[in-house]
C-alpha cells in the first residue's frame, strides 16, 4: 500500500528544513537503509534513509523547497504498485498540499543544491557558469556532471569586480542570530593568559616526526589541554538552562571550523578518554565533512566549551563570542617568539596567548580563573596532557 514519506525533524526544535536534493528518481527502487533524499539544515546536510526497501512512486516537494517538519515530501510503495487517488491519500493522512517549488531566482543569485556546489568545487568549476535544469533554474548534480564533461571555455580577460550584494544564506542567518542571542542573553566576561609554548611546540614536533597518520596540530593539543582542565576544575564543565545549571560526567569539546557555508563547531565526545592522535584523527574527519557539508546534526550539538584558533593566520590574541548554550569559548593565538625571563635572565622563548570568554550565569570569576590557571600549567607542561 502506498505510504507518505514526511519531512523528518532533522534538528531539535526545527519547524522546517530545505529539501536539498532527491537521491532517487521517481519510479526507481531503493534498498532498506539507502538514502532517498538529502535535507539541508542551518549547519549540515542530513540524509533521509529508507526504513524498508521500496520504490519512489512520486515526489511531492522540489529541490530547494522549504518544507514544514511532518509535511509529506514523497509517496513510497512497492514495485508495480500504483499511487491511485493522491488527493485521498493526502487527505486520509491529514496532510496538506505538497510543498510549492521555490520562487524564481533573484537576478544575480545562483541557486544550487549543496551537493552540486560541493561537486563543482571539487571539479574546480564556478557554479555561476553552470546552467541549471532544476526548478527555477536551480543547479543539480546532473548539471555539474554535464559541465565537468564539457570542454573548458576560453578564459576571459580579467575585469574589475563590480559592486554588488551577497544574499544571506540560511547558515549565515543562523550564525548571526545565535551570535546576537549569545551577546544579548549571556553576560560575557573575559580572562586572558600568556603561556610559555616552547615545550608544547617541541612535543608537537616530536609527535609529528613519527608516521604521517599520527600528526597533530596545536589545536589538537589545546583541545586535550582544555578537556584536562575541565577534569581538574569540573565547575567549568556546565551549561546554563532556565531551571538549573547542568553538569556533565564526560568532557565534550567543540572545535571551530571555517567552511564555505560559514563557521561550524562540530563536537568531539569524551575527549579525556581519547589519545592525542585519536583526537587529531577525529578532528580531521569532522573538519573535512564540515567543509563538504556532510556533518550529522547530532555532531553539531552538545559540548560545554569551544576551542577556536586563529593562530595560523598570525593573530596573536582575540576574544570570541560564546556558542550557546555552552558556558565558554577559548580563543587561541599564534605561537610566537618573544623574550622571556628564565632563572632571572632574559632569553628567547616561545609564547602563546589564550583568551577565555565565559558565561557569568553558570560560572563565577574565581572558577574561571582556576580553570585558566590549570590550562596554562598544562600548556607549559604538555606531557601532562598525554597521561
Residue 261 and residue 313 in one domain: yes
Q: Residue 170 to residues 148, 167, 269, 279: CA-CA distances in angstroms?
A: 27, 10, 27, 30
d(CA 17, CA 181): 21
Residue 56 and residue 182 in one domain: no
210 versus 186: the higher-pLDDT residue is 186
* pTM, to two decimals: 0.71
**Total count of domains within the chain:** 3
Residue 102 in any domain: the answer is no
Residue 332 and residue 211 in one domain: yes
Residue 231 and residue 290 in one domain: yes
Task: Give the per-residue pLDDT at 150.
Answer: 65
d(CA 194, CA 185): 29
CATH number, domain of 242, equals 3.30.559.10
Residue 85 and residue 132 in one domain: no
**The pLDDT of residue 335 is above 60:** yes
Handedness of CA 288, 291, 295, 298 (dihedral sign): positive
CATH number, domain of 85, equals 2.40.50.100
Residue 85 in any domain: the answer is yes
- Kindly report which listed range (94-98, 107-111, 169-173, 294-298) carries the lowest average pLDDT score: 94-98
Q: Residue 223 to residues 278, 281, 357: CA-CA distances in angstroms?
A: 12, 13, 16
Q: Mean pLDDT, the chain, as a whole number?
A: 86
Residue 165 in any domain: the answer is no
Task: Give the per-residue pLDDT at 98.
Answer: 46
Residue 183 in any domain: the answer is yes
CATH number, domain of 137, equals 4.10.320.10
Cell digits for 115? 551537493
Cell digits for 255? 572545535
Residue 337 in any domain: the answer is yes
- Kindly report which listed range (10-14, 31-35, 209-213, 270-274) carries the lowest average pLDDT score: 10-14
Residue 138 and residue 196 in one domain: no
pLDDT tens, residue by residue, 118-140: 778 777 788 888 888 775 677 87
DSSP state, 11?
S
Residue 382 and residue 274 in one domain: yes
Task: Give the per-residue pLDDT at 101.
Answer: 46
Task: Give the per-residue pLDDT at 341.
Answer: 87
Residue 199 in any domain: the answer is yes
**The pLDDT of residue 359 is above 80:** yes
Task: Give the per-residue pLDDT at 11.
Answer: 67
Residue 341 and residue 278 in one domain: yes
Q: 3-state class of 25 per DSSP? A: coil
Q: Which residue, among 174, 179, 236, 234, has the nearest Cα to 362 in the 3D structure? A: 236
d(CA 22, CA 62): 8
Q: What's the domain range around 83?
A: 3-92
Residue 60 and residue 128 in one domain: no
Residue 79 and residue 126 in one domain: no
Residue 240 and residue 128 in one domain: no
Burial class (CB in 10 A: 0-12, 13-18, 19+), 167: exposed
Could you tell me the pLDDT band of residue 45, with boundaries at 50, 70 and 90? Answer: confident
Cell digits for 43? 549547519
**The pLDDT of residue 365 is above 70:** yes
Catalytic residues: 360
Task: Give the per-residue pLDDT at 160.
Answer: 63
- Kindly report which listed range (43-57, 164-178, 226-240, 273-287) carries the lowest average pLDDT score: 164-178
Residue 162 in any domain: the answer is no
Amino acid at each position: 500500500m502506498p505510504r507518505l514519506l514526511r519531512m523528518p525533524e532533522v534538528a531539535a526544535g526545527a519547524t522546517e528544513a530545505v529539501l536539498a536534493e532527491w537521491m532517487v528518481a521517481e519510479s526507481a527502487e531503493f534498498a532498506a537503509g539507502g538514502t532517498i533524499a538529502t535535507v539541508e539544515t542551518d549547519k549540515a546536510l542530513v540524509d533521509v534513509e529508507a526504513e524498508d526497501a521500496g520504490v519512489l512512486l512520486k515526489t511531492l516537494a522540489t529541490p530547494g523547497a522549504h518544507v514544514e517538519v511532518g509535511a509529506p515530501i514523497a509517496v513510497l510503495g512497492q514495485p508495480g504498485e500504483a499511487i491511485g487517488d493522491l488527493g485521498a491519500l493526502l487527505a486520509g493522512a491529514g496532510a496538506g498540499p505538497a510543498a510549492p517549488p521555490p520562487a524564481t531566482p533573484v537576478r544575480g543569485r545562483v541557486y544550487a543544491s549543496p551537493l552540486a556546489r560541493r561537486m563543482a568545487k571539487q571539479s574546480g568549476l564556478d557554479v555561476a557558469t553552470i546552467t541549471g535544469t532544476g526548478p527555477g533554474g536551480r543547479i543539480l548534480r546532473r548539471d555539474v556532471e554535464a559541465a565537468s564533461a564539457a570542454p573548458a571555455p576560453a578564459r576571459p580577460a580579467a575585469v574589475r569586480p563590480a559592486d554588488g550584494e551577497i544574499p544571506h544564506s540560511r547558515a549565515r542567518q543562523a550564525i548571526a542570530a545565535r551570535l546576537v542571542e549569545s551577546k544579548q542573553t549571556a553576560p560575557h566576561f573575559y580572562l586572558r593568559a600568556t603561556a610559555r609554548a616552547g615545550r608544547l611546540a617541541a612535543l608537537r614536533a616530536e609527535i609529528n616526526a613519527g608516521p604521517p597518520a599520527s600528526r597533530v596540530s596545536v589545536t589538537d593539543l589545546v583541545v586535550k589541554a582544555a578537556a584536562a582542565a575541565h577534569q581538574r576544575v569540573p565547575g567549568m564543565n556546565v551549561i546554563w538552562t532556565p531551571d538549573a545549571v547542568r553538569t556533565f560526567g564526560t568532557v565534550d569539546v567543540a572545535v571551530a571550523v571555517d567552511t564555505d557555508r560559514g563557521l561550524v563547531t562540530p563536537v568531539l565526545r569524551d575527549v579525556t578518554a581519547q589519545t592525542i592522535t585519536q583526537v587529531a584523527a577525529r578532528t580531521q574527519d569532522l573538519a573535512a565533512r564540515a567543509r563538504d557539508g556532510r556533518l550529522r546534526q547530532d555532531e553539531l550539538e552538545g559540548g560545554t566549551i569551544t576551542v577556536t584558533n586563529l593562530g595560523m593566520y598570525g593573530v596573536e590574541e582575540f576574544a570570541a563570542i560564546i556558542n550557546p548554550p555552552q558556558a565558554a569559548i577559548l580563543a587561541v593565538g599564534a605561537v610566537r617568539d618573544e623574550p622571556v625571563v628564565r632563572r632571572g635572565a632574559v632569553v628567547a622563548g616561545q609564547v602563546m596567548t589564550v583568551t577565555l570568554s565565559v558565561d557569568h550565569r553558570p560560572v563565577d570569576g574565581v572558577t574561571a580563573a582556576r580553570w585558566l590557571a590549570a590550562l596554562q600549567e598544562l600548556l607549559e607542561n604538555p606531557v601532562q596532557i598525554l597521561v
